[in-house]
Structure 1
Amino acid sequence: MIGPDAMTASPYPPSWYAASVEPLPPQPALQGDLDADVCILGAGYVGLSAALELAEAGYRVVVLEAERIGWGASGRNGGQVIFGFGCGESKLAALLGRDDARKLFDWSVEGVRLLHERRARHAIDCDWRDGHMHVAIKPRQIDELKHWQQELERDYGYPLPWWDHEALRAQLDSPRYVGGLYDAGSGHLHPLKYALGLGRAALAAGVRVFEGSRVLRMTHGAKPVLHTAQGSVRCDFAVLAGNALVKGVAPALDRKIMPVGTYIAATRPLGADRARSLIRNDMAVADINWALDYFRLGSDHRLLFGGRASYSNFQPPNLAWVMARRMRKVFPQLAAEDFEHVWGGTIDISFNRAPHWGRIGHDNVYFAQGFSGHGVAGTGLAGRVIAEAIRGQSERLDVFARIPHRDFPGGRTFRTPMLVAAMAWYKLRDALW
């Protein structure tokens, strides 16, 4: 990871996010053995959301976090809050049927609404901005987006306006795009501020969070036990909310997801007028290439630009230069600008890009993973759905659990090179058609 804040004492990996927040006071590491009603692995959006809901319902909740609250993808992501799931509505309809696909879509919209409810209820200041745009680069992508527009309105009751090139250019000063779909109900935020706000709310609700407490193994049974190097937690219910960072605690889950590196960069502050000249309505933007670019403005008027995913588990060479080149294709007027911060992290994708949520073991171990790049709103929804199931209302989790999932082919040795080869084809298609 790259950035001038690399040598600071921040407990978080270097990023503009980490450089622009005040961390919560550190929580102690687990020492000794505890009992709890619910033990949650991971203090990210899923774990904190579930913990908050369960604590407010009177459960004794312990969260075990290997690093710090919001240290993983929850504190490093692109900050774009959108409806839906990574696989798209058509895939879910093919997997589950139209009726269940409609339920899942409506619940994804609830996930966005739930984020706003939590922001308001717990006074979480996370730099929220309204508006999101999916943009087309090529004529075939206009057809793809307009087909999606029709599908969303006809099958899901979610109409979105089409902006042609002229309307789009009035708000987004880039020559790269030929049109797009605008969603006033989605938007963007500062992800680490939101994670810390959830953490603060969970602590206030009585959740016990232990940082620096990596879960090394889990013992299944009538009362699962999560073991760390210096202690353990025995519980009635366990929740695995580490996503791509669980690594070995539940091998059956590990085989269903692929860790993918993704990267974000931030310019220096451009000044209010210059920043707003780029994106006049302050919306977030994402293209629809397989290897997509996405970007937005930060609260201090810098451009945050994301993309350049890595499927090989290695940071791409010359990352800052590559990211800057991609940015200048979008905004040629920033040709003289470099990045002050470049950082990355790992997201989890499932083989079919659909959410992978459910139970394992004795049906008292719950999990949510496979957010596939749609995690900011979806993770908060997952926390609520799992909390509902633990409280005896499993109808919604049961729908998610019916989504079929397969292991990535090739096992640990060959799944990454196989995926790299597949991604090369999709990138070639984006470039040529």
Structure 2
Amino acid sequence: MINHTGSFYAATANYTREFPTLTDNIECDVCIVGAGFSGLSSALHLAKKGFKVVVLESAKVGFGATGRNGGQIVNSYSRDVDVIEKRYDKKTSDALCSMIFEGGDIIRGLIEEFNIDCDHRQGGLFTAVNKKQFEGLKHHKANWERYGNKELTLLDKAELQTMVGTDVYEGGLLDMRGGHIHSLNLALGEAEAIIQMGGQIFEQSAVTRIEKGAKPVAHTSQGSVKAQYLVLAGNAYLGGLAPNISNKAIPCGTQVVTTEQLSDALCDELLPQRYCVEDCNYLLDYFRITGDNRMLFGGGVVYGARDPANVEKLIRPKMEKVFPQLKGVKLDFAWTGNFLLTYSRMPQFGSFADNIYYLQGYSGHGITCTHLAGKLLAEALTGHAERFDAFASLRHYAFPGGRHFQVPFTALGAAYYNLRDKLAI
């Protein structure tokens, strides 16, 4: 049996339901591989439209990035408005940019509709490490306002210090359409909603092979699911199940720690409004106060998804640089998890064999975009594919260097941009 990693999320999960293992040969309308946010959002939106859905998970609901991330509701994609408008034609860029805030709206709607207890708080901050980044935040604000976000406030250094108890930043941008959640509790709440609507979820049911055909079949070691449509939503944990899409992205690891529970007074000193924070560096740091008064702090990237030997050694110096108040504080949890990075940094949605769809490659912006992905998939399967097709039309590029050199080449590129951040150029 494959259980959750030893994360803060797993230790504080609200739900204890054990979903069964698939031990039979069954049929449904849509079979979804992966019970992370992509798969759960797809199942939810499809079930709402009357589809009979089955979700197959190789481990536990939320086992992968869904249950290991920073828990921040960050709008847009890993490439934002300025890049999208330069890179794609106007019709495509207009379509993509019109959806940059929808994922967060979907999450808030699901929390309210299904009364999901996941420590949801409104408000997210982007912080500038230098004056060049602060100028960038001015453009960021203007771009987002053009697409309808009127809940943005630019903050100078003094104003930001009333919200983040540190002097390491030059300023920031507050987005009240952002926020943060206990991500595993959100996923488990969504899973409960799927069951309520008649869907089925099977854990410890890894798909071993896919049989293409008029009705594709997902085979596990003890059973199978035949469906009208098959959806691959395993993202960085899909493995070798579909080499034609997995070779267009690389898994990357990110590291997170969570402190012991802190006093109310210390939390008020660190983040008095309890907004979540991410800085503007290429290799960014992100942090927030959890619902039970812990500092959750993450950052850094390990290309190729290798687990570092000592997560605390990597993250503690970053945390204590931002917050000297936390020097020597006990860390109760430290873990790592994989996300899927694409060369374009844009998500990869599409289909092959006419009835096999895939959703992957959120490049670090998965919480909001996965929820959008599920809604777009449900639209596509009910004859309204225009918005899904805006993503499906994007070309998927392989990383340079081939199978053996793509990881070192990508790491080299990241080191270059990290140096630019440090030199403020």
Superposed pair shares fold, TM > 0.5: yes
Per the TM alignment, residue 149 of structure 1 is displaced from its structure 2 partner at its CA by 2.1
Matching of residue 103 in structure 1 with residue 121 in structure 2: no
**Contact kept? 2:311, 2:336, Cα under 8 Å:** no
Secondary structure of residue in 1 paired with 2:226: strand
2:204 and 2:397 map into 1 onto residues whose CA distance is 32
1:68 and 1:147 map into 2 onto residues whose CA distance is 41
Matching of residue 372 in structure 1 with residue 374 in structure 2: no
Matching of residue 136 in structure 1 with residue 125 in structure 2: no
Secondary structure of residue in 1 paired with 2:389: helix
Per the TM alignment, residue 231 of structure 1 is displaced from its structure 2 partner at its CA by 1.6
The CA deviation string for residues 287-314 of structure 1, in whole angstroms up to 9 with x for no partner, is: 0111110000011111000102111432
Match of 1:191 among 176, 183, 196: 183
1:100 and 1:16 map into 2 onto residues whose CA distance is 40
1:171 and 1:281 map into 2 onto residues whose CA distance is 6
The CA deviation string for residues 221-241 of structure 1, in whole angstroms up to 9 with x for no partner, is: 211111111221111101111
The CA deviation string for residues 60-116 of structure 1, in whole angstroms up to 9 with x for no partner, is: 211110001111111111100021001111222233334432332332312111111
Per the TM alignment, residue 286 of structure 1 is displaced from its structure 2 partner at its CA by 0.4
Per the TM alignment, residue 317 of structure 1 is displaced from its structure 2 partner at its CA by 4.0
**Contact kept? 2:346, 2:361, Cα under 8 Å:** yes
**Which one is further off, 413-422 or 205-214?**
413-422
What's 1:264 paired with? 256
Matching of residue 416 in structure 1 with residue 407 in structure 2: yes
**Contact kept? 1:72, 1:345, Cα under 8 Å:** yes
Per the TM alignment, residue 369 of structure 1 is displaced from its structure 2 partner at its CA by 0.7
**Contact kept? 1:171, 1:279, Cα under 8 Å:** yes
What's 1:429 paired with? 420
Match of 1:84 among 76, 81, 88: 76
Percent of aligned pairs with the same amino acid: 39
1:23 and 1:370 map into 2 onto residues whose CA distance is 28
Per the TM alignment, residue 21 of structure 1 is displaced from its structure 2 partner at its CA by 1.4
- After TM superposition, the score normalised by the length of structure 1 is 0.94
The CA deviation string for residues 375-423 of structure 1, in whole angstroms up to 9 with x for no partner, is: 1111111011101111221111111111222112233322112212222
Matching of residue 158 in structure 1 with residue 169 in structure 2: no
Structure 2 unaligned blocks of 5 or more: none
Per the TM alignment, residue 321 of structure 1 is displaced from its structure 2 partner at its CA by 2.2
Secondary structure of residue in 1 paired with 2:179: strand
2:273 and 2:352 map into 1 onto residues whose CA distance is 45
- Please list every run of at least 4 consecutive aligned residues from structure 1 whose deviation after the TM superposition is greater than 3 angstroms: none
What's 1:240 paired with? 232
**Contact kept? 2:2, 2:59, Cα under 8 Å:** no
* Residues paired across the two proteins, number: 423
Matching of residue 328 in structure 1 with residue 320 in structure 2: yes
**Contact kept? 1:408, 1:415, Cα under 8 Å:** yes
**Contact kept? 1:129, 1:187, Cα under 8 Å:** yes
1:410 and 1:277 map into 2 onto residues whose CA distance is 47
The CA deviation string for residues 170-229 of structure 1, in whole angstroms up to 9 with x for no partner, is: 111111101011101110000000000000000111111111111111122211111111
Letter in 2 for 1:290: Y
Match of 1:216 among 208, 227, 232: 208
The CA deviation string for residues 315-354 of structure 1, in whole angstroms up to 9 with x for no partner, is: 3344212311110110112113131111110001110101
Matching of residue 94 in structure 1 with residue 94 in structure 2: no
Letter in 2 for 1:171: M
Letter in 1 for 2:302: S
Letter in 2 for 1:372: S
Match of 2:17 among 20, 25, 28: 25
Letter in 1 for 2:390: V
2:11 and 2:283 map into 1 onto residues whose CA distance is 27
Secondary structure of residue in 1 paired with 2:396: coil
Letter in 1 for 2:62: G
Residue pairs, 1:6-405, within 5 angstroms = 11-153=3-145, 155-159=146-150, 160-361=152-353, 363-405=354-396
The CA deviation string for residues 343-372 of structure 1, in whole angstroms up to 9 with x for no partner, is: 1100011101011111112x2111111111
Structure 1 unaligned blocks of 5 or more: 1-8
Letter in 1 for 2:407: T
**Contact kept? 2:250, 2:304, Cα under 8 Å:** no
Letter in 2 for 1:370: G
Letter in 2 for 1:115: I
1:311 and 1:91 map into 2 onto residues whose CA distance is 23
Letter in 2 for 1:221: G
**Which one is further off, 406-415 or 242-251?**
406-415
Letter in 2 for 1:30: L
**Contact kept? 1:102, 1:156, Cα under 8 Å:** no
Distance 1:10 1:304, change over 3 A: farther
1:203 and 1:185 map into 2 onto residues whose CA distance is 29
The CA deviation string for residues 28-81 of structure 1, in whole angstroms up to 9 with x for no partner, is: 211132111110001111111111222232222111100011111111111000
**Contact kept? 1:24, 1:200, Cα under 8 Å:** no
1:32 and 1:217 map into 2 onto residues whose CA distance is 16
